[in-house]
Amino acid sequence: MFTQDGFGVRMEWGLPGVEALAPHCTVLIIVDVLSFTTSVDLAVSQGARVVVQAPTAETTGLKRPSELRSVQAGTELTFTSPNGGRLCERAAQQTRVMAGCLRNAAAVADKAIDLADRGPIGVIPAGEQWGVNFHERQKSGPMRVAMEDYLGAGAIVSALLAEGYSPASPEAAFAATSYRTAEPYLAELLGGCGSGLELGAKGLSEDIALAGQVNVSKATPTLVNGVFQ
């Protein structure tokens, strides 16, 4: 029931969504717009490789998008993330994993179709965690549904449907419809949502601007042996 069997495009939230869909999808696309998968896209689009490392109390290796505007090709970066990165690691134990965001939605959808070989494609908006300090790596909290990740997932589902990859589950189809409705207002929505306000208060408005660019990247970050490339 909750694996959305019979649908070519599926969507579910966070770690429980990964555990529900990964065994049944040939490709799983993780979406963590502010900011893990956006940072991965910026790095990979410039020819860098991103090693995904499990978060610990000592590691704080996630770089913000604004730190990655200029990366030398061939550079190997190590990222940790208690949200998107953790989901990528878990999903990779059972299926092929890609990192999607608004910047690369169309490119990732196109590549996922090639990789899936007509098998089901799952899209996972990562969400955030309530009451967790970013630097306290050993702690976790209940998932907070994050609007920015829902919009990113909707953009990818919309691109998959535009390529004729269907049918979409009701969950996925509604995300695509929501994205298309919200598209003219993306900058306001990203800046005004809870995650955007948090970044703005920290002086990281440039991260929001970079994350809000749609289909400006042709990168298709695919996780191979723990490395996005």
Q: What does the alpha-carbon distance between residue 120 and residue 213 come to, in Å, rounded to a whole number?
A: 27
Q: DSSP string covering 203-217, please?
A: T-HHHHHHHT--S--
Residue 80 has pLDDT above 90, yes or no: no
Share of the chain above pLDDT 70, in %: 92
CATH of the domain at 25: 3.90.1560.10
| Residue 153 forms part of a structural domain | yes
**Per the domain annotation, does 88 fall within a domain?**
yes
Residue 171 falls within a domain, yes or no?
yes
pLDDT at residue number 56: 63
170 preceded by a cis bond (ω within 30 of 0) = no
> CB under 8 Å to 131, separation ≥6 — which residues?
141
- Is the pLDDT reported for residue 41 higher than 50? yes
Q: Is residue 67 part of a domain?
A: yes
pLDDT digits (tens, 9 = 90+) for 20-37: 999 999 999 999 999 999
In a domain, 1, yes or no: no
Per-residue pLDDT band for 57 (boundaries 50, 70, 90) equals low
DSSP labels for 117-161? TTS-EEEEE--EETT--TT-TT----EE--HHHHHHHHHHHHHHH
Q: Has residue 179 got a pLDDT over 50?
A: yes
What is the C-alpha separation between 75 and 58, in angstroms, rounded? 22
The pLDDT of residue 85 is above 90 = yes
- Identity of the residue numbered 42: L
CA distance to 30, 130, 164, 223, per residue, from 186 (Å): 20, 24, 25, 28
Residue 2 lies in a domain: no
pLDDT digits (tens, 9 = 90+) for 119-172: 999 999 999 877 655 445 545 678 889 999 999 999 999 999 999 999 999 999
Smallest CA-to-CA distance from 109 within 33, 58, 166, 49 is with 166
Task: Note the pLDDT of residue 128.
Answer: 85
Q: Residue 116 and residue 166: Cα distance in Å, rounded?
A: 12
Number of domains making up the chain: 1
Q: What is the pLDDT of residue 60?
A: 55
pLDDT for 192: 97
Amino acid 138: pLDDT: 47
pLDDT at 206: 97
The pLDDT value recorded for residue 131 is 65
pTM here is 0.94
- Residue 58 belongs to a domain: yes
Overall average pLDDT of the 174-181 stretch: 98
Structural domain contains residue 3 = no
Q: Which residues pair with 76 in a beta bridge?
A: 49
* Structural domain containing residue 209: 9-228
